[in-house]
């Protein structure tokens, strides 16, 4: 068994990690931290844990929450940016492998990070060794690292939607990414925008001046274009517009981009694009190319992402719909998928095959 620490277990991602790890065959949670709940048992804070099976469960309901993590082989860090980096440094110095769910190590360029997050990076030297934790792109690198930067939820949904098209060079550099995101993506902290009376029966845009997941999207799409021998000839023009919708979990992204003609002057058809996506994601356990527009409820409680690419023949545009659970493939589920790779386990270990519907 592999000992695991969850840093900031009282966050939504921390709780989702507990839920998923309770069924994991190899990971066992031996340490959980949270300053606000230090000294309490896990089942005092989360009474639903009293239903964890008897014997030697991977998550013990009577585990006492501490302010600082105990020694462990693996740690999931669920702290806000900046605070996460400081914790990651200490954990790595202990010889612990880390999956960081914050934004601190997702961006390779420290100046880009500091521009978007408005503070000096606490550990810029680690940006070179951290691996962006999108298994569908960096599977082999993840297996060799000690620090995985778990991608952002909105970024994951958008990147998976556009990777095949960008890698194949079938679209131009102008892209529009429309995001519909659930309330839990804002975390457990109380804010006016996520208060029930404010958010219920309402849809509203947010981060209009620029969302912090945009530089992740640009970084990864530029890398995919280059790796696919279709490097962008100019900096991509990406409009990334998120909207808050009154649901607990889930993200639906709709991407639009102009298609490029092939050498014969023809635009790809809907069938061409669908085949391209099927081939790109063939064999992926968690990414599914489907023949109809997906619903967020399909992915509820899972690590699955559903993608439907099509073509607007009238305008010559690619349209891609992509959805996932922001706490699953967008956070805790993807973190466990990454951790499985770190230890040479099947990527699907401990991750539920079916979601909850209705």
Report the distance separating Cα 356 and Cα 358, nearest Å.
6
- By CB neighbour count within 10 A (0-12 exposed, 13-18 middle, 19+ buried), where does 65 fall? buried
CATH match of 2-129 with 3.30.360.10 = no
pTM score, whole prediction = 0.95
Could you read off the pLDDT tens digit of each residue along the chain, which spans 358 residues? 999 999 999 999 999 999 999 999 999 999 999 999 999 999 999 999 887 776 678 899 999 999 999 999 999 999 998 899 999 999 999 999 999 999 999 999 999 999 999 999 999 999 989 999 999 999 999 999 999 999 999 999 999 999 999 999 999 999 999 999 999 998 888 788 888 898 999 999 999 999 999 999 999 999 999 998 998 988 999 999 999 999 999 999 999 999 999 888 899 999 999 999 999 999 999 999 999 999 999 999 999 999 999 999 999 999 999 999 999 999 999 999 999 999 999 999 999 888 888 8
Tell me the CATH number for domain 154-325. Answer: 3.30.360.10
Q: Do 10 and 67 meet the contact criterion of CB atoms below 8 Å apart?
A: no
Inter-CA distances, 250 with 97, 126, 256, 299, Å:
29, 31, 20, 8
Domain locations in the chain?
2-129, 154-325
Given phi > 0 = left and psi -120 to 50 = alpha, else beta, which region is 85?
Answer: alpha
Answer yes or no: 323 catalytic. Answer: no
How remote is the C-alpha of 21 from its chain's centroid?
Answer: 17
Given 96, 135, 153, 305, which residue is catalytic? Answer: 153
């Amino acid at each position: 068994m592999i000992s695991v620490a969850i840093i900031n277990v009282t966050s939504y991602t921390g709780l989702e990690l507990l839920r998923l790890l309770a069924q994991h065959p190899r990971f066992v949670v031996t340490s959980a931290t949270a300053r606000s709940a230090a000294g309490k048992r896990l089942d005092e804070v989360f009474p639903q844990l009293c239903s964890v099976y008897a014997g030697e469960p991977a998550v013990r309901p009577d585990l006492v929450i501490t302010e600082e993590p105990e020694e462990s082989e693996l740690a999931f860090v669920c702290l806000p940016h900046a605070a996460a980096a400081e914790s990651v440094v200490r954990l790595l110095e202990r010889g612990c492998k880390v999956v960081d769910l914050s934004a601190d190590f997702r961006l390779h360029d420290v100046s880009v990070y500091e521009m978007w997050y408005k503070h000096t990076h606490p550990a810029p030297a680690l940006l070179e060794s951290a691996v962006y934790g999108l298994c569908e792109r960096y599977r082999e690198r993840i297996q060799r690292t000690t620090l995985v930067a778990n991608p952002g939820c909105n970024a994951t949904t958008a990147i998976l939607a556009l990777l095949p098209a960008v890698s194949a060079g079938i679209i131009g550099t102008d892209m529009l990414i429309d995001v519909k995101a659930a309330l839990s993506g804002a975390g457990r902290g109380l804010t006016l925008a996520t208060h029930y009376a404010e958010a219920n029966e309402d849809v509203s845009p947010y981060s209009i001046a620029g969302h912090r997941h945009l530089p992740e999207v640009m970084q990864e799409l530029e890398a995919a274009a280059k790796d696919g021998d279709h490097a962008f000839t100019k900096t991509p023009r990406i409009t990334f517009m998120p909207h808050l919708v009154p649901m607990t979990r889930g993200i639906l992204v709709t991407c639009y981009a102009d298609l490029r003609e092939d050498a014969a002057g023809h635009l790809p058809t809907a069938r061409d694009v669908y085949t391209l996506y099927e081939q790109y994601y063939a064999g992926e356990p968690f990414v599914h190319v489907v023949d109809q527009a997906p619903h967020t409820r399909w992915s509820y409680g899972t690590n699955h992402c559903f993608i439907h690419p099509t073509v607007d023949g009238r305008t010559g545009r690619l349209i891609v719909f992509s959805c996932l659970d922001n706490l699953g493939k967008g956070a805790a589920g993807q973190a466990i998928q990454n951790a499985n790779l770190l230890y040479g386990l099947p990527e699907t270990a401990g991750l539920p095959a079916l979601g909850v519907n209705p």
